[in-house]
Amino acid sequence: MTSERRAVIECTGLLRVFESASGRVQAVRGVDLTIESGRTAAVVGPSGSGKTSLLRMIGGLDEPSAGDVLIDGVNLARLSRSARRRMRARLIANVHQRPTDNLLPHLTALDQVVRVAHRRSSGLSESLRILDQLGLGDRAHHLPGQMSGGEQQRLAFARGAVGGPAVIVADEPTAELDTSSTDRVLDAIERLSEEGITVLTATHDPRVLSRVDEVIMLRDGSVASVTDSGTELAVIDHAGRIQLPPEVREHFPNRRARISWDAEQRIFTVEEP
Amino acid sequence: MESAWDGEGVTVPSRLVRRGAAAWRWMLQPWRSFGLIVALIASFAVPSFMAASADVFRLAAADAITRQAVEDDPGGLDATLMATGRLSVDGVQALEGATRAQLGRVDRLGEPSLTLYVPGADLGLQTPPEEDGAPAETIIGSGARFLARDGAIAALDVVAGDRSVEGLWISEDRSEQLGLGVGDLVVVNDRDPVPIAGVYANLWEGERDPYWDDLPAVVVPSYSSVYGGALFEVVVLPESLLLSLGVDGVARWEAAATETVETYAGLVEHATQLRGIERSYTGSDEMAAAIAEFAGDGGPVPALMTDTFDIRVDVDRVLADLDQPIETTAFAGIVLGLVVTAAGAGFAVRRRAVEMRLLRADGDAWWRFALRAIVQYLPAAVVGGALGVVAGWALIALPGEVDRSRWDVIEFRPIVWTLAAGLLVAAAVTAVAASRLLYTRQAAVAGLRPAWLLPLLGGAVAAWIQVGSAADSGEVDLLVVAFPLVGLLAGVGLVVFAARWLMRRVHRTGGSLPPALFFAWRRITSAEAGAVLLSAAMGVALGLIVFTTTLVDSLERATDAKTTAVVGGQTQAQLYFPYDGELPETTTIVRSQRTRLTIGGGVVAVRAIDLDTYADAVTWDPLFGGSAEQVVEALRTPVAADVAVVVAGDRSIPTGGGFGITTVMSYEIVGTVDSAPLVSEAHPTIIVRWDQMIDVARNRHEAQRPPDVDRDDWAATFRSPFVGARRVVVSQLNEEALQVFLAENDADVREFTTVADRERLAATRAAQWAFGHLGLLAAVAGLAAIGTMLFYLSEQRTARRISSMMSRRMGMRPLADAAAEVMELLGLVVIAYAAGASTAVLIAHRVFDRFEPDRRVPPDVGLQTSWPLLLAIAALGVGVVVIAALVNHRIAARRSYGEVLRDV
For B69-80, give the secondary structure using H, E and C. HHHHCCCCCCEE
| Cβ-based contacts of A90 with chain B (< 8 Å) | 363
DSSP symbols for B43-67:
HHHHHHHHHHHHHHHHHHHHHHHHH
> With an 8 Å Cβ cutoff, are B1 and A195 in contact?
yes
- Closest partner residue to A89 (CB to CB) among B13, B362, B440 is B362
Cβ atoms of residues A203 and A172 within 8 Å: yes
Which of B6, B364, B376, B438 is the best mutation test for A, with the most CBs of A within 10 A? B438
Is A3 a residue whose pLDDT tops 60? no
Question: Phi, psi (5° rounding) for residue A16?
Answer: -135, 120
For B358, left (φ over 0), alpha (ψ -120 to 50), or beta?
Answer: alpha
Is B647 a residue whose pLDDT tops 60? yes
Q: Is residue A44 part of a domain?
A: yes
pLDDT confidence of B510, banded at 50, 70, 90? low
pLDDT, mean of residues A67-71: 92
Q: Is residue A1 part of a domain?
A: no
Q: Is residue A12 part of a domain?
A: yes
**H or E stretch at B818:** helix B814-851
Q: Work out whether the CA dihedral A100, A102, A108, A110 comes out positive or negative.
A: negative
> With an 8 Å Cβ cutoff, are B7 and A119 in contact?
no
Mean pLDDT lowest for which of A246-255, B93-102, B332-341, B418-427?
B332-341
Contacting A residues, span 223-252, partner chain B, CB-CB under 8 Å: none
What is the model's pLDDT at position B371?
Answer: 93
- Closest partner residue to B363 (CB to CB) among A88, A102, A107 is A88
Q: Is A137 on the interface with B (CB under 8 A)?
A: yes
Query: Pick the residue with more confidence: B192 or B892?
Result: B192
- Short-list B595, B849, B839, B637, CA closest to B724: B595
The bridge status of strand B664-673 relative to strand B303-305 is unpaired
| Cβ-based contacts of B357 with chain A (< 8 Å) | 101
- Short-list B742, B613, B580, B753, CA closest to B678: B753
Q: Is the ipTM of this complex over 0.85?
A: no
Q: Is A192 on the interface with B (CB under 8 A)?
A: no
> Could you count the other beta carbons within 10 Å of the beta carbon of residue B76?
21
Angle between helices B867-893 and B529-567 (to 10 degrees): 150
Distance (Å) from the alpha carbon of A86 to chain B's nearest alpha carbon: 6
pLDDT confidence of B141, banded at 50, 70, 90? low
What is the model's pLDDT at position B720?
Answer: 82
Is B468 a residue whose pLDDT tops 60? no
- Closest partner residue to A106 (CB to CB) among B13, B22, B361 is B22
pLDDT digits (tens, 9 = 90+) for B180-231: 888 888 877 667 778 889 999 888 777 788 888 777 777 777 765 444 454 5
Q: Is A138 on the interface with B (CB under 8 A)?
A: yes
DSSP symbols for B325-375:
HHHHHHHHHHHHHHHHHHHHHHHHHHHTHHHHHHHHHTT--HHHHHHHHHH
What is the model's pLDDT at position B4?
Answer: 39
β-pair partners for B254: B80, B113
Contacting A residues, span 148-187, partner chain B, CB-CB under 8 Å: 164
Query: Pick the residue with more confidence: B552 or A57?
Result: A57
Is B803 a residue whose pLDDT tops 90? no
CATH number, domain with residue A182: 3.40.50.300
Q: Which residue of B has its CA nearest to A96?
A: B358
> With an 8 Å Cβ cutoff, are B4 and A133 in contact?
yes
Distance (Å) from the alpha carbon of B3 to chain A's nearest alpha carbon: 6
Q: Domain of A182? A: 7-271
| Cβ-based contacts of B13 with chain A (< 8 Å) | 141
What is the model's pLDDT at position B226?
Answer: 43
- Short-list B771, B629, B608, CA closest to B692: B608
Is B103 a residue whose pLDDT tops 60? yes
Residues 6+ away with beta carbon under 8 Å from B412: B389
Strands (E), B202-291: 234-236, 248-255
pLDDT digits (tens, 9 = 90+) for B79-90: 999 999 888 888
pLDDT, mean of residues B567-574: 89
Q: Is residue A2 part of a domain?
A: no
> With an 8 Å Cβ cutoff, are B26 and A106 in contact?
yes
Distance (Å) from the alpha carbon of A159 to chain B's nearest alpha carbon: 10
> With an 8 Å Cβ cutoff, are B4 and A129 in contact?
yes
C-alpha pair distances (Å), B643 with each of A273, B294, B599, B629, B715 = 114, 64, 16, 18, 21
Mean pLDDT of chain A: 86
- Short-list B274, B269, B326, B335, CA closest to B59: B326
| Cβ-based contacts of A20 with chain B (< 8 Å) | 442
- Short-list A271, A257, A224, CA closest to A54: A224
pLDDT, mean of residues B474-479: 56
Mean pLDDT lowest for which of B224-233, B334-343, B829-838?
B224-233
pLDDT, mean of residues B280-308: 87
Residues 6+ away with beta carbon under 8 Å from B62: B263, B264, B315, B319
- Closest partner residue to A128 (CB to CB) among B10, B25, B440 is B10
Distance (Å) from the alpha carbon of B439 to chain A's nearest alpha carbon: 7
Is A270 a residue whose pLDDT tops 90? no
β-pair partners for A169: A94, A200
- Closest partner residue to B358 (CB to CB) among A102, A111, A140 is A102
Is B644 a residue whose pLDDT tops 70? yes
> With an 8 Å Cβ cutoff, are A105 and B503 in contact?
no
- Give the Cα separation of B718 and B701 in Å (integer): 7
Please tell me chain A's helix, strand, coil percentages from 3-state DSSP, rounded to the nearest 5. Answer: 35, 30, 35
Which of A104, A118, A124 is the best mutation test for B, with the most CBs of B within 10 A? A104
| DSSP reduced 3-state for B116 | strand
Is B511 a residue whose pLDDT tops 80? no
Q: What DSSP state is assigned to residue B644? A: E
Q: What DSSP state is assigned to residue B109? A: B
Number of domains within chain A: 1
Which of B2, B6, B8, B10 is the best mutation test for A, with the most CBs of A within 10 A? B10
Question: Phi, psi (5° rounding) for residue B169?
Answer: -120, 125
Q: What DSSP state is assigned to residue B297? A: T
pLDDT, mean of residues A27-36: 89
> With an 8 Å Cβ cutoff, are A126 and B355 in contact?
no
pLDDT confidence of B636, banded at 50, 70, 90? very high
Q: Which residue of A has its CA nearest to B500?
A: A21
Mean pLDDT of chain B: 78
> With an 8 Å Cβ cutoff, are B18 and A110 in contact?
yes
- Give the Cα separation of B147 and B153 in Å (integer): 10
- Short-list B680, B697, B694, B687, CA closest to B609: B687
